[in-house]
Amino acid sequence: MLVTVTSFLGFTLLVAAISYARTRRDRMTTWDAYFLGGRSLTAWVIAGSLMLTNLSTEHLIGLNGDAFNHTIAVTAWETTAALAMVGTALYFLPRFLRMGLSTIPEYLASRYDRGTGVIAASLFLFSYVLAILPVVLLFGASGIDSLFGLQEVFGLSQTQVTWLVVWGVGTLGSLYAIFGGLKAVAISDTVNGVGFLIAGLLVPLLALIQVGDGNPMTGLATVYEAERPKFDITGNEPGSFLPFGVLFTGMVVNQIFFWCAGQQILQRGLGAKNLKEGQKGMLIAASFKLLGPLVIVLPGVIAYHMFKDTLGPEDYMLAYPTLVKAVLPDWLGGFFAAVMVGAVLSTFNSVLNSSATLFCRDIYGAVIRPDASQREFVVAGRTCSVVLAIGAMLIAPMLDTSGSLYNYLQRINATVFGPMLAVILLGMLLPKVSALSAKASLVGGPVLFFLLVFTFDGPVQAFLQGLFGTADEIHFLHFLGLVFVIVVAFMLAASRFWPAQGRHQDPEVARVDMTPWKHAKAMGGFVCFATIACYVLLAQ
C-alpha cells in the first residue's frame, strides 16, 4: 500500500510541478493569456491536450465496459473521430484562425447576429453542465474506488466514497482551470497524456501476456479465437449496441460537430502559436486516435474472456478496473491510479476553461458587460468556473448508473449537436441563410430531438419498428441524423421567404502566422487510409 500511495503522489506532484514551472512567469491578466494560452501553444502540447480533453475514465471504464457487454464496434466513437480531425486541420481551423476567433458562438454572432451567438453559448454550457462534467467525475470516482478499494480502506459506503472522490477530484481539477488558464491546463494534459498512453497500452499487453502464458501474441490469438464474435467492428449482430449503419447517419454529424466545432476541442487549436503548429497538433492527435481500439475496447474484450463467469452484464463498470487489478503489479498500481486521476482532471479542467471562455465572450461580454476590461473578463471567467464546478460536483453522485453512462453522455450531447452543426455549416456555405432561421433552429432542433428520444421514445420506437419491420430499437444516432436533416431543410425553406440581407464576409483579423504545414494533406491522407483499413481488416 505504501508503494502504491508513493507512486500515486509522485506522478501527481510531477504533473503539478511541470505545469507550475512552465506557467509561473505568465501573467493571467489578459484575454489571450488566460483563455487562449497567450496564443503560444505548440504542436505536441496541442496534441496532448486534445487527447486528454477527450479521453478520460468515461472511455477507459465506459467504452471498455460497453465492449465487455457488446462488441468492439463501440470503438467507432474513437476511430471515426480521426476522420473529423483531418477536416478540422485542413478546413475549419484555418478558417477560424484567419478570423481571429476565441469561440464558436463568436463566429455565429459574426455570421448571423448577437442573439444567435448567445443561444449557441447557452446550449454549449447546458451540455457541459448536464453531461460532460458530471459524467467525467462519476466515472473517475468509480474507477478510483475500484482500484484502491476505498470503501474497505476507510470503512465508508459506496455513496460516501462517490461524494468524497467527486469533490476531491473536482476541487483539484478546478484549481488548474481557475488559476492557471488554458496554458496550465494544456501542459498538464500533455504530461498526463504521456502517462495515459503508457498505462493504457500496458494494461492489455500485461493481460495478453497473462492469458498467453508469457507470450502476448499467443494471448491475443487465444482471446480472438475464444471470443471471435466480439471482434466484429461492424456491430451488425442482432440488437446491436452500435449498428454499422449509424456511421453514415448520426455518427457523421456527431464527429464533425465535436471535433470540428466543439469549443473544448477547437479552443486548443485557436490557442496555437501559428497555423502550422495547430494543424500539426491536430493531425498528431488524429494519429493517436488510431490506437484507440488497443486502449479503450480491447481490454474490455480481454476482461470478458477472463471474468465472464464472475462478472455479469450489470457489472460492466467493473470490467476494466477488475482487469487492471488482476494484471498490474502493486508498484504500478499507484502510477495507474494517478494516470486515471490525471485523465479526469484533464477533461474536467479543460471543459471548465472552455465553459468560462464561452460565458465571458458570448454572454458576459455580449450581454452583461460589453465594456468590461480584460481583467474583469478574467475575474468573470474564474467565477464562472467555480459555479460550474460546484454544480457538476453536486449533479455527479446523483446520476443513474444502471445503463450505459457513455450512452447517456452522447444522448445529452446529441440534443444540441445536430441543430448547431446545421447552423454552422449552412452559415459557412450559403450566404442567404438568415439569422431568424438560425435562432429558430437552435431552439427548435434540440426540442425536437428531446421529444423524439426522451419524451415520446416509446411510441416513436413502436411506430418506426413497425414501419421498417424490425424488432430492434432504432439507435439514437439515427435520430441525430434525422434532426440534422430536418433542421437543414427548415433553414433552407425559411431563408427562401426571409433571406439574409446583404452578403456576409468573414473578417480576416488573424493574430498568428497563417502559413500552413507543408505535410498536412499527406498526413491527413494517411490518417484517413489507416482509419478505413481498420474497418476493412476487422469486419466479419
Buried b (16+ CB within 10 A) or exposed e, 443-471: eebbebbbebbeeeeeeeeeebeeeeeee
Name which of 98, 417, 445 is nearest 261 in CA terms.
Answer: 417
The percentage of the chain sitting over the pLDDT mark of 90, rounded to a whole number, equals 38
Length of the chain equals: 540
pLDDT at 406: 63
Average pLDDT estimate for 418-432: 93
Look up the domain containing 226 and give its range: 2-401+408-538
Average pLDDT estimate for 244-270: 91
User: Number of folded domains in the chain?
Assistant: 1
Contact 139, 344 (CB under 8 A): yes
Angstrom CA distances, 223 to 100, 241, 307, stand at 51, 21, 12
Q: Which amino acid is at 213?
A: D
Q: CB neighbours of 500 closer than 8 A, spacing ≥ 6?
A: 112, 431, 432, 433, 434, 435
H-state helical runs in 435-475? 435-450, 457-468
> For 47-94, what is each residue's pLDDT tens digit?
988 887 777 777 788 788 888 988 888 888 888 999 999 999 999 999
Name which of 437, 319, 291, 398 is nearest 63 in CA terms.
Answer: 319
Distance of CA 252 to the CA centre of its chain: 15
Average pLDDT estimate for 428-451: 94
Q: What is the CATH number of the domain that holds 133?
A: 1.20.1730.10
> For 269-314, what is each residue's pLDDT tens digit?
999 999 999 999 999 999 988 887 888 899 999 999 999 989 988 8
> For 336-354, what is each residue's pLDDT tens digit?
878 877 877 778 888 888 8
